[in-house]
Amino acid sequence: MKRYYHKNKAMLKAKSNRYHHSHKVAANERTRQWHKSNPAQSKANKSNAKHTRRAKEYATRVNPYGIYQWMKRVKSTPVVTCHWCGESMLGILAVFDHVIAISKGGAHTLENLCVSCGSCNSSKKDKLPHQWSVYGQSFLSL
């Protein structure tokens, strides 16, 4: 079976795509039923769905549980420092930012995430760090 699959992978994938395209309504109904019967897993999937989708788009490895645990630790810390401007703030007010935005090819991994203040995060948007500094922003060195 494995040999057959690898030999005919393209044909099997095309067949699967045709089937799913012609049975969208049934597939959507199965998905709805699964979400109803698995509320805890469904909620966890929804919270990471946006990041996971974009990360898969750029073929990055995702560890949603590890990222979630790190974010939870940061939020529970009394005082944290913005990675970009060095300003101190309450941990509960911390915002998480991708150093290299996913839309610019960055990975959704712990190595590419940093803590930032709301003003730095909103002004940086999806710019690369060196592009952002052109706009008069200063930041701590990576």
Q: Which amino acid is at 126?
A: D
Helix or strand (DSSP H, E) at 15: helix 9-22
Domain ranges of the chain: 2-57, 64-134
List, for residues 3-55, the tens digit of each pLDDT value. 998 899 899 999 988 988 899 899 889 988 988 898 877 766 666 666 666 66
How many residues appear in the chain?
142
Decide if pLDDT at 137 tops 60.
no
Contacts 24+ apart (CB under 8 A), 129-136: 129/99, 129/100
Q: Is the pTM of this model over 0.85?
A: no
DSSP letter string over 93-104? Answer: G-EEEESS-GGG
- Quick: pLDDT tens for 46-101: 666 666 666 655 556 667 788 889 999 999 999 999 988 888 999 999 999 988 88
Nearest to 124 by CA among 100, 89, 92: 100
Among residues 101, 99, 100, 110, the alpha carbon closest in space to that of 67 is found at 110
Indicate the fold that domain 64-134 takes in CATH.
DNA Binding (I), subunit A (1.10.30)
- How large is the angle between the packed helices 9-22 and 24-37, nearest 10 degrees? 80
